């Protein structure tokens, strides 16, 4: 959720001049107050970290690019898909390495920072306005057991116990079969 929305906002606000992805592993491993590494964390603190410390660029394990690429392979969480299933145990959180994967990119020079970090009111209108004016947002919600069987369309919680919090990037909004 966080670095995807941050990367989109950088691209939008630079009119496409910045078209790289920010490094999820840089945020995950170097932001000590953001939470619990691979076990999740606090999105608002991640946005504050971007403003105060900056985040370098980085791609995926399958498509490495930028300063620090994600070290773990793509995998499917709880569903059948294009990638192999994720391991049952979470990966250990990588160490914070303040250097790029390749020597031709300088770690400190590669960092970008946000001008500001803020929360918006959790209403549909506020979220829609923020997306229209500034780009995608990150949201958190409680994930229930039935979400593991969700595959497409508009998700509604119907049954099952709460499992954990989940952070996502919201790109836009609309209706599907007259359901907002």
Pick the CATH number of 2-170 from 3.90.70.10, 1.20.120.420, 3.40.50.720, 3.30.420.140: 3.90.70.10
What burial letters (b/e) apply to 147-176, b meaning 16+ CB within 10 Å? beeeeeeeeeeeeeeeeeeebbbeeeeeee
10-residue stretch averages of pLDDT, the chain, 180 residues long: 95 96 96 87 95 98 96 87 90 95 95 96 95 96 89 88 92 88
Domain chopping of the chain, boundaries: 2-170
Under 8 Å between Cβ of 144 and 160: yes
**What pLDDT is attached to residue 61?**
95
**What pLDDT is attached to residue 26?**
97
11's enclosing H/E stretch is: helix 2-13
**What pLDDT is attached to residue 38?**
77
**What pLDDT is attached to residue 151?**
79
Classified as helix, coil or strand, 66 is: strand
Task: Report pTM.
Answer: 0.90
Under 8 Å between Cβ of 169 and 5: yes
Tokens representing 31 are 């932001």
């Amino acid at each position: 959720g966080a670095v995807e929305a941050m990367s989109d906002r950088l691209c939008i606000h630079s009119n496409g001049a910045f078209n790289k992805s920010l490094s999820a592993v840089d945020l995950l491993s170097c932001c000590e107050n953001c939470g619990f590494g691979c076990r999740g964390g606090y999105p608002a603190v991640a946005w504050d970290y971007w403003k105060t410390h900056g985040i370098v660029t980085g791609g995926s394990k399958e498509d490495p690019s930028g300063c620090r690429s994600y070290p773990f392979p793509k995998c499917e969480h709880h569903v059948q898909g294009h990638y192999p299933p994720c391991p049952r145990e979470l990966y250990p959180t990588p160490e914070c390495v303040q250097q790029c994967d390749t020597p031709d990119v300088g770690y400190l020079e590669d960092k970008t920072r946000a001008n500001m970090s803020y929360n918006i009111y959790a209403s549909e209108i506020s979220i829609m306005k923020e997306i229209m004016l500034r780009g995608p947002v990150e949201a958190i919600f409680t994930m229930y057991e039935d979400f593991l069987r969700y595959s497409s369309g508009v998700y509604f919680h119907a049954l099952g116990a709460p499992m954990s919090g989940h952070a996502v990037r919201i790109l836009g909004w609309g209706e599907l079969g007259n359901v907002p």
